[in-house]
């Protein structure tokens, strides 16, 4: 007998290996189990792969004398169960990605490296009879480390926790050699059944309908996909919680997927305050050992509630009972590299696989999900009201063509354009005076998006990308003599440069930062609302974007400051749009959010509207009514009017109708081929050759090759090709025949070709 092994190599095939002599000689002659890891020689490398089948020598297409034996088996039992292997096969087929590479994406890195799965549970503790007197006076550093361990009490702590705290492995070893401490393996006890920590709320009728439907699906053990379509603040979380309760009480696990940004401690707290349960958080900031620990906890069933970002949908679960995808429309669910999966799609597949309900919750469903409702593939549950007194915010347009934007005198006496109309500034003032908070949304960080020479038109561009450099500048810091915060930076490749004092082309000193980012907007608001010389009351201006929240605890501090509830202006990027609950924000201002309605990307109106509604949803979440002001230069734009007057759903349904007429996704199915290389000519040529290899009879629309939206990025050139099909099967049939030969084309040799199924942008 032979074993078939999937290896982490970019080849669309698996490999046969025989058993080593000692294994064949042993009396029980056990085959390595399917789903377990083996170490094998591959060319000159040693690789770790997963056994996916047992085959006989006759079934193998490799001559017997060419077959090498495996080096060793790493697991006695499978580490991937049949369901996980089926998931891997499905991912490989649907995304046209090599099986071995799919498995490499699924497995945590320590598992890929062949480490034992229970490696982490090594704990260290101080031997019971040891006291402080057992130290010689000169072993200061050892004593220090000993004291650190002592803080953990008699059971000590796991090695990875200790290392994280700054202990050193060498010292642990020394202390062990001296007979002061010992290592031990903690056997995990099965977690106790989940208990309610707090009473559930009384549901309103809409919530009750949703919970009943989900619980019924859970009880009948039939897969059902739900679109929980609830306006912001309608209490979707309470629906999740009460549906979870039934599932957890049945002893099943619940997986909750959240977008990257929401993963603050608040996310955990929402669930921990309701259930006394073993909750595991899975996100990109975990160390390798923590990730493996989480993986193991999910696989063994120790984890009862699992909260994770995108990749958590690929974890193994012992007894999965429910999947919740919160903010299911969010772009972060689409992996944009290697295996380009969409976590919501994978969640639906896994629901089907495990016969469990899956909830896609959002206030702004994607057109894909609305189409699935139309097709009868998702059950829609609507929440149209906010519980209690909270009312959805009213939306209002400000015609920025009719009134000029407010000019504000700055410290140097010059007048600056604030970019905000007088009526918007008036509304901000009124809100602050009423003791409430204001959120001003601007989805552009930095000071200004362009540095321009007024004399010759030169612009500061990134030498490596087709992009302007963003001006980062902080005049408050400048005035206090700190210049480190002024520089030009490319937001695509992180290239940085000094801000020139004269134009490099014409020598003019007339360089001007054009446009407005969050820093500049904050400064402008500062000049109006926080200037001790002109304003009676000083209001805090809190800037919230990736630049101000980079430090580990800064977001926490900002969050606390806002939640104290004092009047303040929050200036934020899309970081602010998602899921946060600030009850004192009653006014949301969008000075230029509607620009996306003009973009060339056909998906832009959908994404712009989602963002606007999410941001608007921050207003009026407490008992006070909320207001949203949208400043626009295109007040007649039909889409914008539809969104403001009729709400997101009618807007989205109209867009969906438009897509149908134009044959665009989700009314057609897309695959995007991207090609990256050193020259644009080479990438375009490879795609032309690829087109020539398409089967002669196919029903696909072929668009391209064209330059990618940003064709030069990080000194590499990108071209792309789009395939559109009326029918999903047709598309995949062509791809199955075509894609692997395309990768082998001579012109593709020094290029990077990638295939993106159901791409979200092109």
Q: Which is nearer to Zn ion, 236 or 674 (CB)?
A: 674
Does 675 appear as a known binding residue? no
Q: Which is nearer to ligand ADP, 60 or 204 (CB)?
A: 204
Does 61 appear as a known binding residue? no
- Give the list of residues 6+ apart from residue 126 with CB closer than 8 angstroms, or none: 146, 149, 150, 154, 156, 180, 181
Q: Residue 224 touches which of ligand ADP, Zn ion, none (CB < 5 to 8 A by kind)?
A: none
Q: Is 624 left (phi over 0), alpha (psi -120 to 50) or beta?
A: beta
Q: Residue 490 touches which of Zn ion, ligand ADP, none (CB < 5 to 8 A by kind)?
A: Zn ion
Q: Which is nearer to Zn ion, 12 or 458 (CB)?
A: 458
Is 455 a binding residue for Zn ion by CB under 5 A? The answer is: yes
Strands (E), 507-556: 511-514, 541-544
Residue whose pair of structure tokens reads 């993106």 in the numeric block: 756
Q: Is the backbone peptide bond immediately before 705 cis, with ω within 30 degrees of 0?
A: yes
The whole-angstrom separation of Cα 254 and Cα 324 is: 8
Is 464 a binding residue for Zn ion by CB under 5 A? The answer is: yes
Is 465 a binding residue for Zn ion by CB under 5 A? The answer is: yes
Q: Which is nearer to ligand ADP, 160 or 238 (CB)?
A: 238
Q: Which is nearer to ligand ADP, 230 or 596 (CB)?
A: 230
Task: State in angstroms the smallest separation of the CB of 518 from ligand ADP.
Answer: 24
Does 73 appear as a known binding residue? no
- Asked if residues 657 and 649 have their Cβ atoms less than 8 Å apart, the reply is no
- Asked if residues 251 and 300 have their Cβ atoms less than 8 Å apart, the reply is no
- Asked if residues 472 and 487 have their Cβ atoms less than 8 Å apart, the reply is yes
**Both tokens assigned to 324:** 């919740």
Does 589 appear as a known binding residue? no
Closest C-alpha to 206, from 343, 2, 386, 332: 386
How would you classify the pairing of strands 305-308 and 253-257? parallel
Is 462 a binding residue for Zn ion by CB under 5 A? The answer is: yes
Note the residues at the interface with ligand ADP (CB under 6 A).
201-204, 207, 230, 232-238, 387-388, 581
Q: Residue 230 touches which of ligand ADP, Zn ion, none (CB < 5 to 8 A by kind)?
A: ligand ADP
- Asked if residues 683 and 676 have their Cβ atoms less than 8 Å apart, the reply is yes
Q: Which is nearer to ligand ADP, 176 or 260 (CB)?
A: 260
Q: Which is nearer to ligand ADP, 331 or 387 (CB)?
A: 387
Q: Residue 505 touches which of ligand ADP, Zn ion, none (CB < 5 to 8 A by kind)?
A: Zn ion
Task: State in angstroms the smallest separation of the CB of 518 from Zn ion.
Answer: 20
Q: Of 70, 74, 490, 527, which lies in the binding site for Zn ion, with binding defined by CB under 5 A?
A: 490
Q: Residue 429 touches which of ligand ADP, Zn ion, none (CB < 5 to 8 A by kind)?
A: none
The helix or strand, by DSSP H or E, that contains position 368, with its residue range, turns out to be helix 367-374
Does 456 appear as a known binding residue? yes
SS3 653: helix
Does 453 appear as a known binding residue? yes
- Asked if residues 200 and 242 have their Cβ atoms less than 8 Å apart, the reply is yes
The whole-angstrom separation of Cα 226 and Cα 242 is: 15
Q: Of 41, 508, 554, 557, which lies in the binding site for Zn ion, with binding defined by CB under 5 A?
A: 508
- Residue with nearest beta carbon to ligand ADP: 235
Please give the size of the binding site for Zn ion, defined by CB under 5 A: 15
Q: Which is nearer to Zn ion, 59 or 454 (CB)?
A: 454
The whole-angstrom separation of Cα 547 and Cα 610 is: 24
Task: State in angstroms the smallest separation of the CB of 682 from Zn ion.
Answer: 21
Task: State in angstroms the smallest separation of the CB of 332 from ligand ADP.
Answer: 17
SS (H, E, C) 425-465: HHHHHHHHHCCCEEEEECCCCCCECEEEECCCCCECECCCC
Which residues make up each annotated binding site for Zn(2+)?
453, 456, 462, 465, 490, 493, 503, 506
Interface contacts to Zn ion, rule CB under 5 A: 453, 455-456, 458, 462, 464-465, 490, 492-493, 495, 503, 505-506, 508
Which residues make up each annotated binding site?
453, 456, 462, 465, 490, 493, 503, 506
């Amino acid at each position: 007998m032979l074993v078939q092994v999937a290896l982490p190599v970019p080849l669309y095939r698996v490999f046969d290996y025989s058993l080593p002599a000692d294994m064949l000689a042993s009396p029980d002659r056990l085959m390595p189990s399917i789903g377990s890891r083996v170490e094998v020689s591959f060319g000159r490398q040693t690789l770790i792969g997963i056994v996916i089948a047992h085959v006989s020598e006759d079934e193998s297409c490799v001559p017997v004398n060419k077959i090498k034996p495996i080096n060793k088996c790493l697991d006695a039992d499978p580490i991937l169960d049949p369901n996980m292997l089926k998931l891997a096969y499905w991912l490989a087929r649907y995304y046209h990605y090599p099986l071995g590479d799919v498995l490499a994406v699924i497995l945590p890195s320590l598992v890929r490296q062949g480490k034992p799965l229970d490696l982490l549970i090594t704990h260290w503790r101080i031997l019971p009879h040891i006291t402080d007197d057992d130290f010689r006076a000169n072993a200061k550093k050892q004593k220090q480390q000993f004291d650190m361990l002592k803080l953990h009490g008699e059971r000590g702590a796991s090695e990875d926790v200790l290392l994280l705290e700054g202990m050193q492995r060498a010292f642990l070893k020394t202390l062990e050699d001296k007979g002061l401490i010992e290592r031990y393996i903690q056997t995990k006890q099965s977690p106790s059944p989940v208990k309610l920590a707090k009473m559930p709320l009384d549901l309103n009728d809409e919530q009750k309908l949703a919970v009943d439907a989900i619980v019924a699906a859970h009880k009948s053990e039939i897969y059902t996909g739900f679109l929980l379509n609830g306006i912001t603040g309608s209490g979707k979380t309470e629906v999740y919680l009460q549906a979870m309760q039934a599932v957890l009480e049945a002893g099943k696990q619940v997986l909750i997927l959240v977008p990257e940004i929401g993963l603050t401690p608040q996310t955990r707290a929402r669930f921990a305050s309701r259930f006394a349960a073993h909750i595991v958080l899975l996100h990109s900031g975990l160390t390798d050992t923590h990730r493996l620990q989480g993986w193991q906890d999910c696989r063994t069933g120790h984890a009862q509630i699992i909260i994770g970002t995108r990749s958590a949908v690929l974890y193994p679960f012992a007894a999965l009972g429910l999947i919740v995808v919160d903010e299911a429309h969010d772009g972060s669910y689409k992996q944009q590299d290697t295996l380009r999966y969409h976590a919501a799609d994978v969640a639906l597949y896994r629901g089907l696989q495990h016969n469990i309900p899956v909830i896609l919750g959002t206030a702004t469903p994607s057109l894909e999900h609305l189409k699935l409702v139309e097709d009868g593939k998702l059950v829609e549950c609507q929440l149209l009201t906010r519980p209690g007194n909270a009312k959805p915010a009213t939306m209002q347009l400000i015609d920025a063509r009719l009134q000029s934007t407010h000019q504000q005198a700055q410290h140097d006496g010059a007048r600056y354009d604030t970019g905000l109309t007088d009526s918007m500034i008036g509304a901000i003032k009124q809100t602050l005076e009423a003791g409430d908070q204001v959120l001003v949304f601007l989805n552009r960080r930095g000071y200004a998006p362009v540095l321009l020479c007024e004399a010759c038109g030169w612009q500061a561009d990134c030498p490596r990308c087709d992009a302007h450099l963003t001006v980062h500048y902080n005049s408050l810091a400048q005035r206090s003599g700190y210049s480190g915060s002024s520089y030009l930076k490319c937001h695509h490749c992180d290239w940085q440069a000094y801000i020139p004092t004269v134009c490099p082309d014409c020598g003019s000193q007339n360089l001007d930062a054009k446009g407005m980012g969050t820093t500049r907007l904050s400064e402008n608001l500062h000049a109006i609302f926080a200037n001790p010389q002109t304003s009676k009351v000083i209001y805090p201006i809190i800037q919230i974007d990736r630049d101000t929240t980079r430090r580990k605890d800064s977001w926490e501090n900002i969050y606390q400051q806002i939640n104290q509830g004092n009047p303040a202006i929050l200036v934020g990027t899309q970081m602010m749009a998602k899921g946060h609950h600030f009850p004192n924000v009653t006014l949301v201002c969008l000075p230029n959010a509607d620009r996306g309605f003009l973009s060339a990307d056909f998906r832009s109106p959908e994404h712009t509207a989602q963002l606007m509604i999410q941001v608007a949803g921050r207003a009026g979440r407490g008992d006070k009514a909320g207001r949203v002001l949208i400043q626009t230069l295109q007040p007649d734009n039909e889409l914008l009017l539809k969104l403001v007057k009729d709400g997101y759903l009618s807007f989205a349904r109209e867009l969906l109708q438009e897509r149908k007429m134009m044959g665009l996704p989700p009314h057609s199915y897309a695959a995007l081929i991207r090609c990256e290389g050193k020259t644009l000519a080479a990438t375009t040529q490879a795609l032309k050759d690829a087109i020539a290899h398409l089967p002669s009879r196919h029903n696909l629309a072929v668009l391209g090759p064209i330059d990618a939206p940003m064709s030069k990025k990080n000194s590499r050139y990108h071209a792309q090709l789009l395939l559109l099909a009326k029918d999903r099967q047709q598309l995949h049939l062509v791809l199955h025949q075509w894609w692997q030969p395309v990768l082998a084309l001579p012109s593709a040799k020094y290029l990077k070709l990638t295939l993106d199924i159901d791409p979200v942008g092109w």
